[in-house]
Chains A and B, each alone.
Chain A
Amino acid sequence: MIEPPLPSFPTGSDPGPSFLGLLRRMAPDALPGALAGPGSSPGPPGPAPEGVVHGTTVVAVRYADGVVMAGDRRATAGFSIASRRIEKVFPADEHSGVAIAGAAGPAVEMVKLFQVQLQHYEKVEGEPLTLEGKANQLGQLVRANLPAAMAGFAVVPLFAGFDDRQGRGRVYSFDVTGGRYEESDFHANGSGGVHARNWIKAGWRPDLTADEAVELALRSLFAAADEDAATGGPDLVRRIFPNIAVIDAGGYRTLDADDVAGRADNLLGGRERGGDGS
């Protein structure tokens, strides 16, 4: 008998609303490397092999009505610059975003899977996941990536979104084991994350407006680029500036490149210009 073309499962092995479960049963070959299951580790434990592309600094900053996410544009492979224009901030769905630091290849695949996973759940169940549920889902994907992380392909995303139920923005960070931590106000990840975080800490207030939060995020990335070789600073010659997304009750929106360039120019007219360079 010909198999029916629509996927169907016996009771007990039905993946329910999980797209990852569906992919495991129907098309395991299409799973991103490390998620394929035990025995699929990309290599022995150790540092990343040379030539692996890494994305670097990303930040998320809560403000009065939502949350701002931003990422620099540099990707590195060892001491080389692999890309000047990589994007690290993505919409997860209409009301949340994910920003990635770590091995770029697995990270981009993880984001793609995460986006489909959220939408798949919403379509099967008829209701979207809560923000907390989305963060837990992402945590599971990060945990499944642990064998790859041990081999040097770590992915550590930042997740942020607007929580309809609580009426405020929320920020989650993750570690390589899939541990999920809700940050109270802001977080930054990646090689320049420490510098960015310190900068935000000094300027953060609970009553920031969206514009102020965007400015703070931009400044923090520029500060990180000042101290960290793997973080890309504002490129005034090629006009390359960070990617920025604003998420509030109205949903996720990306600031367009000219808008960000204008804001960056305003900032650079201020404190960063003509410093003593120390």
Chain B
Amino acid sequence: MTMPFYVSPEQVMKDRADYARKGIARGKSLVALECREGIAIVAENPSRTLYKISEIYDRIAFAGVGKYNEFQMLKIGGVRLADLKGFQYSRDDVTASSLANAYAQTLGQVFTHEMKPYEVEILVASVGATPEEPNQLFHILYDGYVVDEEGFTVLGGQSETISDAIRAEFQEGLDLGAVVRLGARVLAGERDALPASQLEVATLLRSRPARAFHRVRGEELDALLAV
């Protein structure tokens, strides 16, 4: 009879976290920034069809980095949860914080109970209906750890470096164009600022009446990036 090797729980968790972090670090990063008009989410993504940023509900967006199939599944789960809740109660009862909680619980559960943790970091962002109503940025890690961010947040491997770069230039009340250009610049790092073809940009605009989510592409994106 063979005895299984003893591995301490600390070691198990550390191994899993390292595994998840490595997976995430292989992918490209994403930034979300608050601006006068609402929230801009900018990702480095050469694909025109495999999105990292999606609409979840009227004023709520989702973004993910890491393994595509995993954050895609989380996105669909969020859409389902939100639509069910909105249909059963009212559209105003669907909130970013309850979605963030559901994501945190799901990710936490997978991290401790499944063979392999999800190699993802996700963002749940919601824009206030009026300038007085605050925006919300929930940054959720692979193990279910939630951070409620203010101003901006960075998802992905090089988040420290990119955060420092944003902090140097970011201030409250910038306009949409300015934060999108800032995003394109900091995601590039040492390279030249990323061109429109390498970017996926989506916004949550306070001024849009029913569905705040709006994908910025084509000429509209070119216009924002130029100046």
What residues of chain A have their CB less than 8 Å away from a CB belonging to chain B?
Answer: 1-2, 4-8, 19, 22-23, 26-27, 30, 112-113, 116, 119-120, 123-124, 126
Say yes or no: B54 contacts A116, CB within 8 Å: no
Chain A residues within 8 Å of B106, by CB: 4-6
Give 1 or 0 for each of B29-58: 1 = CB within 8 Å of chain A CB: 000000000000000000001010011100
Could you write out 23 A-B pairs with CB less than 8 Å apart? A1-B113, A5-B81, A5-B101, A5-B105, A5-B106, A6-B80, A6-B106, A8-B77, A19-B83, A19-B87, A22-B80, A22-B83, A22-B84, A26-B84, A27-B84, A27-B88, A120-B80, A123-B55, A123-B79, A123-B83, A124-B76, A126-B51, A126-B54
Say yes or no: A30 contacts B77, CB within 8 Å: no
Closest A residue by C-beta to B113: A1
Say yes or no: A6 contacts B74, CB within 8 Å: yes
Chain A residues within 8 Å of B128, by CB: none
Say yes or no: A4 contacts B109, CB within 8 Å: yes
Say yes or no: A6 contacts B88, CB within 8 Å: no
Shortest Cβ gap from B101 to chain A (Å): 8
Q: In the docked arrangement, what's the CA distance between A119 and B83, Å? A: 9
Say yes or no: B83 contacts A116, CB within 8 Å: yes
Specify which of B56, B87, B102 is in contact with A5 (CB 8 Å cutoff): B102
Besides the contacts A4-B105, A6-B74, what 4 more A-B pairs have beta carbons closer than 8 Å? A4-B110, A6-B102, A27-B84, A112-B87
Shortest Cβ gap from A256 to chain B (Å): 14
Whether B142 sits at the interface, judged by CB under 8 Å, is no
Say yes or no: A120 contacts B109, CB within 8 Å: no
Shortest Cβ gap from B9 to chain A (Å): 18
Chain A residues within 8 Å of B84, by CB: 7, 22-23, 26-27, 30
Chain B residues within 8 Å of A22, by CB: 80, 83-84
Say yes or no: A6 contacts B79, CB within 8 Å: no
Say yes or no: B87 contacts A23, CB within 8 Å: yes
Interface centre among A1, A26, A27, A119 (most CB of B within 10 A): A119
